[in-house]
Each structure stands twice: as C-alpha cells, then as structure tokens.
Structure 1
C-alpha cells in the first residue's frame, strides 16, 4: 500500500533493468515502444514484480470496453494536482505493459492504470488499488473476449470483498451488477448510448425495462442505483449538489461522461471537482485520437472506433455531410479476427457523406455498406482515399491496428 517505501529486492531491480534493456532493443529495431516485451521479460525474472512496483503507490485502475485510455489520461491529469503520477498512458493495458509503465515511475505518488477487461481481477489482486473505475461493458473482439455477461461475472467475482472504492456507471446494468458485490461503490450517472448488450437482466435473465433514463428488471427487481455524481449537459453534478462546468478540448458526449467519472475518481483522492476539471482541459488528444493532422495538403481528423458502441459515439462527433469520411478496418490479433460486429453498426448514419474504404478488411466493410444502401469507393491506400476525396476536412475512422497504420502513414 501507499506509504510502504520498502526498497526493491536485488531480483526485482535486475528484472526492471532487464525489462528496460529489452524495451530499448525493441524500440531500436523499430518494433514500437517496447513496453510489452520489456514487461514480459521483467515478469519472467520476477513474477511478483507488479505487486512490488505498486506497493508505494495510491493506485486507481480503469477498466471498460470503451473510453479506458481517455479516462485514464483525464484521471492522471486531475491527480497531478496532488502529486506525481505514473500511468500506462499509451494504452499497453495487460500485465506486461502495466509492469513496464510502473517500472518507470519510482518517484510517483499515484499510479493511474488502464486495465484490459479480462485482466482486471488479477491486476487488482496484485496492486491493491485504492479506487477502481468501471465505465461500461459492450460486445468487443468476439473471438478473444468473453461474452459481456461472462465478463461482468468475472468482474463481480474478482471484486467481491475488495477494499477499493469502486466508481461505477449507474446507467450500465452490466457494470452495476458487477460492482454490486463490492463494499464501497460510488455511482455515477454517465449515460449509456449503446444499449444492445443490456436488454436482459444480468442477475436473473429477465427482460430489462427502460423507461426514460431509468432501468429495472421486471422479474427480480434488480434496478438502477441512485447516483451521487451525474453528467447534466455540460456540467458535473457532485454529491453536494454543486454543478461544475466541463471545459474539454476533446469532443463529444462520451468524453464529458469520461470527465464525470474522472472527477468522481479524483474526489476519492482528495482532489476537488473544480481543480480536477480545470486540469482535464489540458488534454488535447489521447494517443493520437482526435488529432487533426495535415497530409497531402488536406486536414485529417483521426478517430478511433473499435466496436459497435465506439462507432455509435464516433458518428455523433463527425462534421455533417458533405464532409468526406474514410473508414479503415483491420482484423489482426489486437483487433480481434472476427469482423461480424460490423453488422451491429448502423452505418446508415453516414448517408450523405462521401465514403472511402481502406484497410485489410475493406471488402468486409464494402459488403456491409452495400447492404446499408450507401455510396462508397474502395481504395487500396490512405493516399488514394485522401486524393480522391472532395474538398473539406476529412474524417478518418479506424479500428485499433488500422488506426496505428494511419498514424504511421501521416507521421503522427
């Protein structure tokens, strides 16, 4: 726990040094940041290293299907008002990447850690967090991740008995069910645009009733808890009834929801909402997301959308027609190799936009758009798509590895 500054053992120091060396070799070879391979090497040498690195930190874990990386960044900015922060800001969110991040933060007071949904319970056991933020659960990577209710059950079992303060989204029934096994829960009304994974009750399987913003199970009585924090328009409502303005450079309702959850987390660590929200304004982009870059004489805005819930939120951000839109989808290991989720996305919302399709799975996307009755053009490269697009800023929407491909090509 925080306050225990017991020095690292010789074995742990060796593991950290070896991990950093492996990461440096990976970077020199042009294979990315090296954080994952560095963490794997370090954990092989000292399997308990993650727990050792976290022992002097006040840790907050952030897990969700959507918004993890952005919320982690917002919380980190807020907590810097109270002391130095170490964070896996680039999104390496499995144990190896988390270990690499913590190895670089020996002087930190706070650890703000994004955690992949599958690994949450295990990481929580290792790092004894003071707070855990649970934002949402929706279908994602169907070939790799468990079905959403199974994930919620893993969370529920893994967090049962945890001493951490759980900051949880009261509008997502799966999150509420998962968090309800915990002793201390702070409920946040952060909203839920995508509801297609929460029509049946996670507790009994009954049909969920959804009058207005409320929800409840008509069979077992499982229902939405009363939130103490809420997003209302452009303000965060705190537990005392005070409304604090949200001024973000990041676009969209989803990021206001992320800021609301982040303010609730910051309060657990003693940072008041006004201070937390002011510091969040400094965040302009998160690992390239929302950046506007110049490429081939055009302005391109880079947007990440990797599952149906993410695409739904992203559609609400883009400029109105006739703004050109480039869609790029891959199905590599990090994306999940199953692209059936494309059929869950309502692409008719892109009607009126000139659409250009690129990426490894451009033909899968083309079939989906054809069925949706949309006009589009399939292109071999980003360069071809940009050069074919009519005037105006171009919106690029890409899933995970496709987004990295675009960033490399535009030099971002």
Structure 2
C-alpha cells in the first residue's frame, strides 16, 4: 500500500463532508451528478485533498484522447479480482471530479482514475500513481488543445523520472515519444487506425516512414519499440507469448485494444490475463455508450464519437447499409467550440446509409455531408429523426454534449 494509514486531517474531513453536501444539493436540484462542483468546494477548503485521498491507494491513471472512460472501467473490473476499487467511472476527469470520486472510496485498495490529457502531469504529481496507461493522442477540442505534439511534450516532461510503471501503446508515435522519458515502460501493440496526427516525427520533425504496422523516422532513427503485450485479432498476447481470448460485450476493434492495455495494467498488480479478461466481460455499457435503448418503438444504439479518430473507429462498428444513422453534433464548452474537425472525418464511409442530422451545429455537419456527396435530412430533434428513419435498428452517433442530450431524451 502506498503511504501510511493515517486518517484524514480534520480539515480534510471537513472538505470531504462539505463537498458531498454540495454534490447532493446539486443532484437534488437536477444539475447532474454534482461531482465536479462538490470536488471544487472540497479542494477550495483543502487544496491538498487529492494527494491526501490518494495516499493509501494503489493508483492507476488512464489518459488518452479516445477510450479513457471505457479503459478505466475495464481496468477497474479487472483489479476488483485483487481488492476493492474506487474510480471516477462517470468520466469526471479533471482534478475536481477525481477528488469527488476518491472521497467516496474510503475502504478501497485501488484507485483507477481517468484523467483529461491536459491534467495528467499535475494529477500524477498529486496521486503518486503505481501505474499510468497511455493509449493514444489525436486532435480533439481544437480551441483548447490544437497541437497534439504539445500535449505529448507535456506528458513527456511531466512523466520524466516517474516511479510509475507506464503502460503505453507502441503503435502511436506521439504516445511513444511521451512515454520514452519514463524509466519503466511496458509497451503494448494496441494498433492505431487514425494516423493523421503522426506523419511527422515528434522527436525531430522528420517524415515518418510507415511500412506495414511498423513506423520509424528516416532522419533521427526514432522508431516503434518492441511490444511485450499485443492485440492479435480476438486475443491478447502476453510477454510469454501465450494467447488469451478476449470476450467483451462492448463492440469493435478499439475496445479489444482497450482490453489489451487493461490486461497489461492488471498484470502490473498481479492479476493474471485470464482472470482480468474474464472480468472485463461484465462491462456491458460505459456511461450509456454502446447501450441499445427503446424509443418510439424503435431500437436505438447510442455511440459516442468526439473527434476524427473516434468517428473513424465508430464507423467501423455500425450495422451495414441500409441501417439508418442519426448524427448529432454540438459545439458547447465541453465539446470544444471549433467544429473545423468535421472536415477531417471521412463521411464517405456512410455511403448507402440513410442519414439524419441534428444538434446545435447540424448545419455545419450538413455542409460537410453535402461536400461528401451523402444523402441526408436535417431534423429539428431526435423525435422527428426517429419518425423519418426507415425500418431497422438505428445507429445514433453523437459528440459529447449531444450524447448527453440524447441520453436525457431517451431516459437513459
């Protein structure tokens, strides 16, 4: 166990109590879970509270542009084989939300924490993690994090010399560059569908060579490390070369990759791959993602896609044409207000699907679909879109706040 078992200071206890009270009041007022406002109040009363709450936990941090919430869930399920877990399972992944989550886990052995990419170095400083999982880095929320290489640089500087075991995706050059400053790295070949943020070398700026699944810089020699864990079809290959079957209720290649990284993390804490992967089967949906819900006598599958890399992975999941597809895009604070990323998404992959468009920025999306020669209808709301959809299960793809709006509408 990390640290000692001293109880919280009186000030810390007061901060926790006040934070929980504010969170409860926020929930009662119908303003969401209250975890963020509760955490803010608690940290205002005791700025060191996050470090105090983490001191008796074996902490795992999970950061990435895509897949953080799901991977956090998978790791939490796997580690429950070894003891009680506290986790920010609902995805409140900045310091306030993380503090709220840890305040609710007084008997936990493990803290499995999803961390927003921009906050990783600071949260790692506060929580003294045993393990950090780095999955991918790609363009996202362009108004707040326009430059992926700068994020990689922040990770690299923040993790330099860290005592944590870093479990990192060796197929993403930006992640490799970020993790390479750490003395103890376990490389996982988890794959990378989206490559448009990694054509230039993060080390020297040279052009990246990509023969097959390999990659290297022809100018400075920066290259893909040899993995000790790998995703291979429907199996995870461990460092001994054994192949363990992946059984998930979550769909798609990306979730198999998340499971491979999660198995590598679980092994750091002594949970064998077979046990870890069996436990991951329990996860059916993650904060509403992948849920199939009934709405107006139709089956709707809810899929979250926040950025170009996420949309690319999501298109590979959906039922084949002519399955109807509803797309919803907002550009509120939590989404990033810049929608120019829509032009980086290959919407020709939707050819043959009847498409229905809604959300605050439905007209931005409509223009993009027009240029991609897609047939679509702009709708005022979900109810209208569902009524217009031809028969079959409806695939609903939305970015962050649009996804929350849809969940509220369908009562999920």
Do both share a fold (TM > 0.5)? yes
Give the superposition deviation at 1:3: 5.4
Partner of 1:47: helix, strand, or coil? coil
Per-residue CA deviation, residues 1-31 of structure 1 (Å, 9 max, x unaligned), is 6252110000000000000000001001100
Rounded Cα–Cα distance in structure 2 between residues aligned with 1:257 and 1:306: 18
CA distance in 1, matches of 2:41, 2:398: 31
Displacement of 1:144 after TM fit? Answer: 1.0
Match of 1:357 in 2: 357
- Partners of 2:250 and 2:240 lie apart in 1 by 27
Using the alignment, how far apart are the partners of 1:370 and 1:146 within structure 2? 26
CA distance in structure 2 between the aligned counterparts of 1:146 and 1:392, rounded to whole angstroms: 39
Partner Cα separation in structure 1 for residue 201 and residue 388 of structure 2: 47
Once residues 333 and 399 of structure 1 are traced to their aligned partners in structure 2, the CA distance between those partners, rounded to angstroms, is 12
Give the TM-score normalised by structure 1. 1.00
Tell me how far 1:32 sits from its aligned partner.
0.1
Secondary structure of 2:111's counterpart equals strand
Q: CA deviation at 1:146?
A: 4.2
For residues 145 and 283 of structure 1, the distance between their equivalents in structure 2, rounded to whole angstroms, comes to 31
- SS of the residue aligned with 1:44? helix
Cα displacement (A) at 1:143: 0.2
Question: 2: CA distance between counterparts of 1:92 and 1:3?
Answer: 25
* 1:179 counterpart residue number: 179
Distance, in Å, in 2 between the alignment partners of 1:396 and 1:129 is 37
Deviation at 1:222, TM superposition (A): 0.2
- Consecutive unaligned residues of structure 1, counting only runs of 5 or more, are none
Superposition misfits of 4+ residues, deviation over 6 angstroms: none
Aligned to 2:155: 155
Q: Aligned to 1:86, what secondary structure does the other structure show?
A: strand
**Within 2, Cα distance between the matches of 1:322 and 1:236?**
33
Q: 1:35 to 1:287 in 2, by over 3 A?
A: same
Kindly indicate whether residue 139 of structure 2 is the aligned counterpart of residue 168 of structure 1. Answer: no
Q: TM-score, normalised to structure 2's length?
A: 1.00
Q: Any stretches of 5+ residues in structure 2 without a counterpart?
A: none
CA–CA separation in structure 1 for the residues paired with 2:146 and 2:332: 18
2:270 alignment partner in structure 1? 270
Corresponding residue for 1:390?
A: 390
Alpha-carbon distance in structure 2 between the residues aligned to 1:239 and 1:123: 29
Whole-Å Cα distance in 2 between the matches of residues 368 and 5 of structure 1?
Answer: 56
Question: Which SS does the other structure have where 1:154 is aligned?
Answer: helix
Distance 2:215 2:116 in 1: 27
Q: Secondary structure at the match of 1:342?
A: helix
Aligned partner of residue 368 in structure 1, secondary structure? helix
Distance 1:164 1:375 in 2: 50
Report the number of matched residues.
412
